[in-house]
Structure formats: structure tokens, C-alpha cells
């Protein structure tokens, strides 16, 4: 089967996670993605020690996960020859993707208008922390600070008595990359139909707000966060501790319609017709005291059985539930492997097999590429320069003067 984006040429000048993740989607689906790095390499190559993972050219899993199936070229964009190589790449590209701050791109003569001057139909996709307008437009933005903290998630997604949570790095970036990729593909679709390129942009702040939409909207109606774990708005959509000190979540949005069914499944038959809990007040919410009482009843019941026992009971009753697992357990999830959500990557240098998360989209009529891990900075420079019709002498000269690596 063919790849859905065969024949699409993409140039990436990106760092960290959002842009490399977005172009990973495109690369897996067949686009020819060329990633430009400065001679010292992009910063995400160097984060391994913070997460106890290797950081060598051969085994750098955090970097290699984001950048599989791309070709890497090392270019010094502060040199005249380096900029000339960049312009040759852009001249034949359908899409240029970057999260380098716009002021820096403009100083290098690589802004949208500059690039459009020699590639009128280019799709110029630029990602920012805070958007292109306003007082914070030039501020540096990162996953934890901009996506999580400023969207209200880091402070309000916890129990009211808890310290704000700190997610592993890159989660908000990865989620945001999906929205950014959607915009790029919409622009590509329009280009195929009209021949016109466009400037596409998104941001961590915008996506953090978008993904937190339910909380932000409901908070404006008085649904205050953070909440106590004893004050679930819906006791059937809540987390409970089980016997053995592990947790389970049940997810039943229709409390009124499913109240009797859930009570009977959990062996709480004596509460089926208890109007303190079976009915809600005219605002559609429980009275606070009744709410806390019923959560206590549910807590006590869940503590009578293990997480696994409750999952069996609730699954048999067709009640949505799930164990709260640890990240170390996720690579053993057979359901994920059965659906191709992981790829096994073997690293010869360490002999370690690592479960790499795969792009979670598949097609019936098209295939996706298996992961091809990138190597050192500029590992594909010579091959790409040959594609651009540079001679061996020109390549050697630019390598010597530091324009390429």
C-alpha cells in the first residue's frame, strides 16, 4: 500500500517537542521531511539525563522518538553559505515548519514574506508559546509553564488539599502537536485545490485553553476548582481507592439514568430508592452534605475489593471503568500492542528493547512507515546536499568553513 503523503516535501527548523512531533506525523505518513539542526544539535537531544535515559548518537530515545523517519542536515544559518542551502531546500518544499521565535527568523531573513518571495505557494507553519499578538508574544513558552500552568490545569486538576501536580515533560507538547498538524494538513488540502500557500500558526497557550474547555467554561458558571476528592460533582465519574492501595476510576456521565444500575452492580441495593442520593436538586446538583455522604459510601464499598476484582465486576455490568496504572506498566498493555500503538525498538549498543509509542492513527487504504531512528547531527547532510546538486568540492568547502555539518 502507498503512503498517504507521498510526494510532499517538508522542511523542519524545530526544537523540543511540538514541531518535531507534528512533522513526525507527516514523516510517518510518507512526507519527505528534512530536519535542519544547528551544528551543535537541537536542545531536545540533551534532555536525556533529566529523565534517566541515554543521550548518545546511537541511543537517544527521547530525541529519536520525536524525529523518526526524517533526514537530518546540519546547517549554520548564521553563515551566508548555510542560508543559501536553506533557501534551496525551501524553494522545493511544500511546507516549512518552525518554532524558532519569529524575531530570530526575521533577523536571518527567514520570515514568511522572505520565504514567500522565492516560494510563493509555501505553507509556512509557525508555532509559538503565546501567539503572535499581545504583550507576551515574544516570551519563551514551554509545555509546563505555558500549556499547563497558564491554562489552569496545573493548579486545578488536583484535590483541593494537594500540591499542584507536575506532569512529565512533553505531554502538553504532544497533545498540541496534533492540533498543529491538523492545521498544516488543512492548509495542504487547500493548496492542492487552489495552488495557494498560507501562513499557519498555533500556540501552547491557545491549545492549553482549547483542551481545558470544559473546566474553563463550567468555572464561569460557578463550578469552582480545585475540588475536594470528597466533593465529586458526580460520584459515578470519580476516582476511588481499592483494597491493596491501588485506584480505579468509573465514568458514568448520566448519573440519574444509570443510578439504579450502578448501585445494583456494586451491591449497594439498599440505596437504590434512597432519595437523598437518587435524586438531584433543581439545579441538577447534589446538596453538598448528601454528595459527601454518598462519596463516603462509595469509598467504603470500593475498599472491600481489589482494583482487579472491581474491574471484573464493572466490566461485566457494562460500566465504563479503568485501573489507574503506573507509566511503567503501560508498555505491557496487550491491547495497545494489538492495535499497533507501540513499536519495539532494539538498541544494539545497550542491548535494550524499548516500547516506542507509535503515531496513533491508521488507514485502511494506506500504510505508515515503521520507525527509522535518526542518528548524529547532520547524519544525512551529504545525501541531502547531493540531492540539491552540490558538487563534492562544494560540500567539502562548506564543511570546512562550518556552513554545514
Residue 284 has pLDDT above 60, yes or no: no
Selecting among 173, 224, 318, 353, the annotated active-site residue is 173
CB 397 within 8 A of CB 75: no
Q: pLDDT (tens digit, 9 = 90+) per residue, 196-250? A: 999 999 999 999 999 999 999 999 998 889 988 877 778 999 999 999 999 999 9
Report, as an integer, the average pLDDT of 281-295. 71
Helix (H, G, I), strand (E, B) or coil at 362: coil
Contact 61, 54 (CB under 8 A): yes
- Split at pLDDT 50, 70, 90, the class of 395 is very high
Find the mean pLDDT for residues 251-261.
92
- Cα separation, 304 vs 44, in Å, equals 46
Average pLDDT in the 368-373 region?
96
pLDDT tens track for 306-355: 999 999 999 999 999 999 999 999 999 999 999 999 999 999 999 999 99
Q: If pLDDT is split at 50, 70 and 90, which confidence band does 290 have?
A: confident
**Fold category of 247-323 in CATH:** formyl-coa transferase, domain 3 (3.30.1540)
CA dist list (Å): 131 to 96, 147, 185, 200, 205 = 18, 12, 20, 11, 7
Grid cell digits, residue 220: 464561569
Averaged over 251-266, what is the pLDDT?
A: 93
- The domain made up of 9-212+335-400 has a fold known as Rossmann fold (3.40.50)
Q: Is the pLDDT of residue 281 over 70?
A: no
For the cut 80, the answer to whether the pLDDT of residue 386 exceeds it is yes
Q: What are the residue ranges spanned by the domains of the chain?
A: 9-212+335-400, 247-323
Whole-angstrom Cα distance, residue 119 to residue 113? Answer: 10
User: Average pLDDT for residues 110-128, to the nearest whole number?
Assistant: 96
Mean pLDDT over residues 145-166, rounded?
92
Question: Is 269 considered catalytic here?
Answer: no
| Stretch 287-298: mean pLDDT | 84
Does position 71 have pLDDT exceeding 70, yes or no?
yes
9-212+335-400 shares its CATH topology with 247-323: no
* Contact in structure between 319 and 265 (CB atoms under 8 Å): yes
pTM, entire model: 0.93
Would you state the pLDDT for residue 224? 87
CB atoms within 10 A of CB 244: 12
What's the pLDDT score for residue 3?
98
Choose among 207, 185, 211: nearest CA to 198. 185
| SS3 category, 201 | strand
Give φ, ψ of 168 to 5 degrees: -60, 150
Phi, psi values for residue 310, rounded to 5°: -65, -40
Task: Determine the Cα–Cα distance for residues 207 and 401; give it in Å rounded to an integer.
Answer: 42
pLDDT for 78? 93
What single DSSP character describes residue 391? -
Q: Is the pLDDT of residue 285 over 60?
A: no
Mean pLDDT score of the chain: 94
Neighbours of 1 (CB within 10 A): 9
Which three cell numbers, joined as nine digits, stand for 84? 543559501
Amino acid at each position: 500500500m502507498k503512503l498517504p503523503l507521498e510526494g510532499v516535501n517538508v522542511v523542519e527548523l524545530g526544537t523540543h517537542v511540538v514541531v518535531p512531533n507534528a512533522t513526525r506525523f507527516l514523516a510517518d505518513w510518507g512526507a519527505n521531511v528534512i530536519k535542519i539542526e544547528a551544528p551543535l544539535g537541537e536542545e531536545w537531544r540533551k534532555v536525556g539525563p533529566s529523565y534517566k535515559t541515554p543521550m548518545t548518537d546511537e541511543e537517544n530515545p527521547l530525541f529519536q522518538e520525536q524525529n523518526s523517519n526524517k533526514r537530518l542536515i546540519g546547517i549554520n544559518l548564521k553563515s551566508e553559505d548555510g542560508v543559501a542551502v536553506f533557501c534551496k531546500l525551501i524553494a522545493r518544499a511544500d511546507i516549512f515548519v518552525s518554532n524558532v521565535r519569529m524575531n530570530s527568523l526575521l533577523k536571518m531573513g527567514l520570515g514568511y514574506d522572505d520565504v514567500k518571495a522565492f516560494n510563493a505557494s509555501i505553507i509556512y507553519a509557525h508555532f509559538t508559546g503565546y501567539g503572535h499578538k499581545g504583550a507576551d508574544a515574544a516570551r519563551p513558552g514551554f509545555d509546563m509553564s505555558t500549556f499547563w500552568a497558564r491554562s489552569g490545569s496545573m493548579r486545578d486538576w488536583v484535590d483541593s488539599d494537594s500540591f499542584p501536580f507536575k506532569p512529565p515533560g512533553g505531554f502538553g507538547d504532544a497533545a498540541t502537536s496534533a492540533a498543529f498538524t491538523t492545521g498544516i494538513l488543512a492548509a495542504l488540502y487547500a493548496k492542492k485545490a487552489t495552488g495557494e500557500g498560507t501562513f499557519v500558526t498555533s500556540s501552547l497557550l491557545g491549545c492549553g485553553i482549547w483542551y481545558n474547555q470544559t473546566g474553563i467554561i463550567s468555572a464561569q458558571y460557578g463550578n469552582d476548582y480545585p475540588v475536594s476528592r470528597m466533593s465529586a460533582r458526580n460520584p459515578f465519574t470519580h476516582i476511588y481507592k481499592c483494597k491493596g492501595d491501588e485506584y480505579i476510576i468509573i465514568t458514568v456521565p448520566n448519573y440519574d439514568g444509570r443510578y439504579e444500575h450502578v448501585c445494583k452492580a456494586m451491591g449497594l441495593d439498599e440505596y437504590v430508592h434512597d432519595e437523598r442520593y437518587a435524586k438531584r436538586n433543581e439545579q441538577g446538583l447534589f446538596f453538598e452534605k448528601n454528595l459527601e455522604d454518598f462519596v463516603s459510601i462509595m469509598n467504603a464499598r470500593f475498599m472491600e475489593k481489589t482494583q482487579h476484582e472491581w474491574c471484573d465486576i464493572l466490566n461485566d455490568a457494562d460500566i465504563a471503568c479503568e485501573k489507574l496504572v503506573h507509566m511503567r506498566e503501560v508498555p505491557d498493555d496487550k491491547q495497545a500492542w494489538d492495535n499497533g500503538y507501540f513499536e519495539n525498538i532494539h538498541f544494539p549498543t545497550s542491548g535494550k528493547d524499548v516500547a516506542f509509542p507509535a503515531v496513533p492513527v491508521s488507514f485502511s487504504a494506506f500504510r505508515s512507515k515503521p520507525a527509522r531512528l535518526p542518528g548524529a547531527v547532520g547524519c544525512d547532510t551529504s545525501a541531502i546536499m547531493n540531492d540539491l546538486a552540490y558538487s563534492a568540492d562544494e560540500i567539502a568547502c562548506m564543511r570546512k568553513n562550518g556552513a554545514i555539518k
